[in-house]
Amino acid sequence: MILSKFDCHFLKDELSRISYSLFCLVGSSLLKMLTEFDTTLPSIRQVQNLIKQTTPVELKLVTQDVLTGKVVWQDPQCICIADENSQQTTVWKQAIAYIKPKTS
């Protein structure tokens, strides 16, 4: 089958439109995954309980630094912890080694 010049331009335009639509669909799904808060995950629920109960926690970072205080909020990328002086520190979740309730 031999395509005319018109057919080739039409197919090129159609492929561009389909590629753009696919890019938009994948991009919006990726953005949704990055920004959506999945409360069915146990880790999300556990941190939400620490916030709700204002439980003092020990938060160890991958740098071996340890922060103590109460978790104030979390979003898909970060956790905010307030120390005994109410000084808030926002920590990227990827920097956290573990978080656990603080023992006296």
Spatial distance between the Cα atoms of 34 and 77, rounded to a whole number of angstroms: 8
Torsion 101-61-92-77 (CA) sign: negative
Task: Give the architecture (CATH level 2) of 42-101.
Answer: Roll (2.30)
CA distances in angstroms from 78 to 13, 17, 69, listed in the order given:
42, 37, 15
Do the beta carbons of residue 87 and residue 72 sit within 8 Å?
no
Phi (first) and psi of residue 30, to 5 degrees: -65, -45
Q: 14-18, 84-88, 89-93 — which is least confidently predicted? A: 14-18
* pTM score, whole prediction: 0.65
**pLDDT per position as a tens digit, 22-56:** 665 665 555 555 557 788 899 999 999 999 999 99
Spatial distance between the Cα atoms of 20 and 85, rounded to a whole number of angstroms: 51
**Residue 38: predicted pLDDT:** 85
